[in-house]
Amino acid sequence: MRLPLAALATFLAISAGLAQGWPALPTAGFISGRPATDQDVADGNAIFVLKAYGMYFGKPIDIAIPQYAYLTKRGGKPVPVIVVQAEAGKGIKLFGVRGADGEKSVARDYELQLLGTKPPG
């Protein structure tokens, strides 16, 4: 699979920045203001798609995208991430995030501490 140039640039910026503290937020490689499509995922701009029976059902969550956050899964140590997608569907809020290692993850609202668009202090 070929990685689109914008997604590769975003990955490199996040990786370099989180290794040395928080990076500048990416200018590409995220989705905001509308539900993600299969093409958005293929292009590296979204992490997931909310779709059932061929119909998209996700609704964008009204937050700043991209933004900084801490991800805590299963009671583990908070991990710095960049939020690149936020959607709600069927009463559940989901967030697509990228870590310094380029790892993509989907998180529920209770697993994420949103920090805003300014690098945490």
DSSP annotation string for 15-47: HHHHHTSPPPPPSSS---SS---HHHHHTTS-S
pLDDT digits (tens, 9 = 90+) for 15-52: 444 545 899 999 999 999 999 999 999 999 999 999 99
In 3D space, the residue among 80, 73, 78 whose CA is nearest the CA of residue 110 turns out to be: 73
Neighbours of 94 (CB within 10 A): 20
Of 2-11, 47-56, 78-87, 107-116, the least confident = 2-11
pLDDT (0 to 100) of residue 51: 95
Write down the pTM of the prediction. 0.81
* Residue written as token pair 């979204």: 46
What local confidence, expressed as pLDDT, does residue 4 receive?
A: 55
The Cα 84–Cα 106 span in angstroms is 10
Q: Cβ neighbours of residue 55 under 8 Å, at least 6 residues apart?
A: none
Nearest to 35 by CA among 43, 46, 26: 46
